[in-house]
Structures are given as structure tokens and as C-alpha cells.
């Protein structure tokens, strides 16, 4: 687990950081917008990434007027874009390695002909 995803904040602290009521965080959890780690049966622990997501939800709802259903769609699309970007980057790296290997082979063949 990366440090960004390490659960460190109780719901009251996360709510205070985001300037939200704890009940708002519970609502977002119930809707599946944010999924904090449960410690024991009651305590919710939020990570830095969760807090960033809460702030993003706040910007979308308060600043841009997006309803929670729209927020869910937007967050899903942003996650999909992130996954696709990671796949793209991995494929780009793989293709660079293939091209480097082809170049190395071509150089070796050229040296053998001399």
C-alpha cells in the first residue's frame, strides 16, 4: 500500500480537513464515492488519497453544480482514464524496448558484414 493510500484520519479529522460534516462523508461512503478502511466494526479511517477525492467531490458539487450521480460517473471516468494512461505508458515502454533491441540487432548485423 502506498503512503498516499495509508489510512490515517478518523472520520472527524477527515471531515474537518475537507470542511464537511461527518454525515456527508458517511453519505459519500454509502453511495460508494469514497470507501474508507474500516478498523474494527465502527471506525472509518481515511487516507490522503481519500481526502483528495473528498475535496474533488466537493469541487464538483459546490463549484460546478454536479449532482452526486454525475460525480459518480465523472469519478468512474477519471479512474478509467488513469488506468488507460497506465496501460498506454506500459505499452509505450514495451515498444521502446522492442525498438532498442531491434536497433541493437541491426547494429550487430552491420558490424558482422564489415
Please report the DSSP string for 9-39 in residue order: EEHHHHHHHHT--HHHHHHHHHTTS--PEEE
pLDDT of residue 42: 82
Percent of the chain with pLDDT over 70: 98
Extract the residue ranges of the chain whose pLDDT is less than 50. Answer: none
pLDDT of residue 93: 98
pLDDT of residue 9: 96
- Report the DSSP pairing between strands 9-10 and 37-39: unpaired
**CATH number assigned to the domain comprising residue 15:** 1.10.1660.10
Instruction: Report yes or no: 29 and 35 within 8 Å, Cβ to Cβ.
Output: yes
How many other C-beta atoms lie within 10 A of the C-beta of residue 72? 16
Give the domain extent around 50. Answer: 1-66
Residue 60: inside a domain, yes or no? yes
Q: In the chain, how many domains are there? A: 1
C-alpha distances in angstroms, 101 versus 2, 61, 93, 94? 33, 50, 12, 11
Amino acid at each position: 500500500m502506498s503512503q498516499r493510500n495509508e489510512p490515517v484520519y478518523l472520520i472527524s479529522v477527515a471531515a474537518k480537513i475537507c470542511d464537511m460534516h461527518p454525515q456527508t462523508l458517511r453519505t459519500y461512503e454509502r453511495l460508494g464515492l469514497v470507501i474508507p478502511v474500516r478498523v474494527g466494526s465502527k471506525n472509518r479511517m481515511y487516507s490522503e488519497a481519500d481526502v483528495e477525492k473528498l475535496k474533488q467531490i466537493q469541487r464538483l458539487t459546490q463549484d460546478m453544480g454536479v449532482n452526486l450521480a454525475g460525480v459518480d460517473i465523472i469519478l468512474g471516468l477519471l479512474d478509467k482514464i488513469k488506468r488507460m494512461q497506465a496501460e498506454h505508458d506500459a505499452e509505450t515502454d514495451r515498444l521502446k524496448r522492442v525498438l532498442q533491441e531491434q536497433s541493437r540487432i541491426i547494429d550487430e548485423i552491420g558490424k558482422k558484414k564489415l
